[in-house]
């Protein structure tokens, strides 16, 4: 009989343009054992984005229905569009012992904290705000007006980092990924996570 352990829910958030998408993609390329939740959004697809791969693209009405039917673990309106995490995927993975990572903005992360206080909250921080702006401009996906909106949101988002367990600076992508992998590994070894697993009668007594 083997010991049972639930999967870990990792919430990675931080301001737009800090590099969340890049870091998640790099973790995936490295083969890090994390499952990536695909969010629903009312945002229009960018060039190259595929429905069901990058996001589940929804109309406002469809998104509203998902909220009413309690299909979202959390959701938030961000710079004029709605984004939310489908709850079923997260539960299925965690219950079957697999880790899940959510790449979401800060308001949604705070909602997850209320529902899943045992999740691991990591705030990805830019080296400074000038660098953040350069990254958003460099990505070339936003108009000048949207860049300003995202920068204004970013400044208030930075103040919410105190709600997180860890802050990881994304100065260099590979270093940021090393830090995240180390944090996730350490989290798996925490006594308060493992005590139930090892002290569970079924697990201890079973041969």
Ligand X SMILES: Nc1ncnc2c1ncn2[C@@H]1O[C@H](COP(=O)(O)OP(=O)(O)O)[C@@H](O)[C@H]1O
Ligand Y SMILES: Nc1nc2c(ncn2[C@@H]2O[C@H](COP(=O)(O)OP(=O)(O)O)[C@@H](O)[C@H]2O)c(=O)[nH]1
Q: Which of ligand X, ligand Y, none interacts with 108 (beta carbon under 5 to 8 A by kind)? A: ligand Y
Rounded to a whole number of angstroms, the minimum distance from the CB of residue 61 to ligand X is 27
Order the strands of the 100-103 sheet from edge to edge.
35-36, 100-103, 9-13, 120-125, 166-169
175-204 binders of ligand X (CB under 6 A) = none
Encode burial over 157-170: b for 16+ CB neighbours within 10 A, e otherwise.
Answer: bbebbeebebebbb
20 is in an annotated binding site: yes
Among all chains, which residue has been given the structure tokens 């921080």? 125
Rounded to a whole number of angstroms, the minimum distance from the CB of residue 147 to ligand Y is 11
In this chain, which residue has its C-beta nearest to ligand Y?
Answer: 108
Alpha carbon dihedral 89, 94, 99, 101, in 10-degree steps, equals: 50
Token pair recorded at residue 65: 């229905």
Q: Which of ligand Y, ligand X, none interacts with 22 (beta carbon under 5 to 8 A by kind)? A: ligand X
Question: Per-residue string for binding with ligand X, 4-23, x by CB under 6 A?
Answer: ------------xxxxxxx-
Positions touching ligand X (CB under 6 A) are 16-22, 135, 138-139, 170-173
As annotated, the binding site for ATP includes: 14-21
């Amino acid at each position: 009989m083997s010991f049972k352990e639930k999967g870990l829910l990792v919430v990675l958030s931080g301001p737009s343009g800090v590099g969340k998408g890049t870091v998640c993609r790099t973790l995936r390329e490295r083969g890090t054992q994390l499952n990536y939740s695909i969010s629903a959004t009312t945002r229009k697809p960018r060039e190259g984005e595929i429905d069901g791969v990058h996001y589940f693209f929804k109309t406002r009405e469809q998104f509203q229905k998902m909220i009413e039917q309690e299909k979202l673990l959390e959701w938030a309106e961000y710079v004029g569009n709605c984004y939310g995490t489908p709850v079923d995927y997260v539960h299925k993975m965690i219950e079957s012992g697999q880790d899940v990572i959510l790449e979401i903005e800060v308001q949604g992360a705070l909602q997850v904290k209320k529902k899943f206080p045992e999740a691991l909250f990591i705030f990805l921080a830019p080296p400074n705000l000038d660098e953040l702006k350069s990254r958003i401009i460099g990505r070339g996906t936003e108009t000048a007006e949207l860049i300003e909106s995202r920068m204004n949101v970013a400044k208030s988002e930075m103040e919410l980092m105190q709600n997180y367990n860890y802050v990881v600076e994304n100065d260099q992508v590979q270093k940021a990924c090393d830090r995240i992998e180390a944090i996730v590994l350490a989290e798996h070894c925490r006594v308060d996570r493992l005590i139930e697993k090892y002290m569970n009668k079924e697990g201890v007594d079973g041969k």
